[in-house]
Amino acid sequence: MNLQPTLLGKLLTLRPLLDSDFEALYEAALDPLIWELHPERTRYQRDVFKRFFDAGMKSMGALLALDSQTNEVIGTSRYAGYNPTQSQVEIGYTFLKRSCWGKGHNTEMKKLMIDHAFESVNQVLFYIGENNYRSRKAVEKLGATFLQHTTRTPLEGSTYTSVVYGLLKPKD
| CATH classification at residue 78 | 3.40.630.30
Looking at the structure of the chain, the number of domains it has is: 1
Average pLDDT over residues 94-113: 96
Residue 69 lies in a domain: yes
23-27, 41-45, 60-64, 88-92: which range is least confident on average?
41-45
Strand partners, 149: 163
Q: How many whole angstroms separate alpha carbon 151 and alpha carbon 70?
A: 39
Residue 158 has pLDDT above 80, yes or no: no
Q: How confident is the model at residue 113 (pLDDT cuts 50, 70, 90)?
A: very high
Quote the domain boundaries for residue 76. Answer: 7-126
Residue 170 region, left (φ>0) first, then alpha (ψ -120 to 50), else beta? beta
Q: How confident is the model at residue 92 (pLDDT cuts 50, 70, 90)?
A: very high
Residue 148 lies in a domain: no
- Number of helical (H) and strand (E) elements in the chain, helices listed first: 4, 8
Decide: 134 and 128 in contact? Cβ < 8 Å: no
Residue 47 lies in a domain: yes
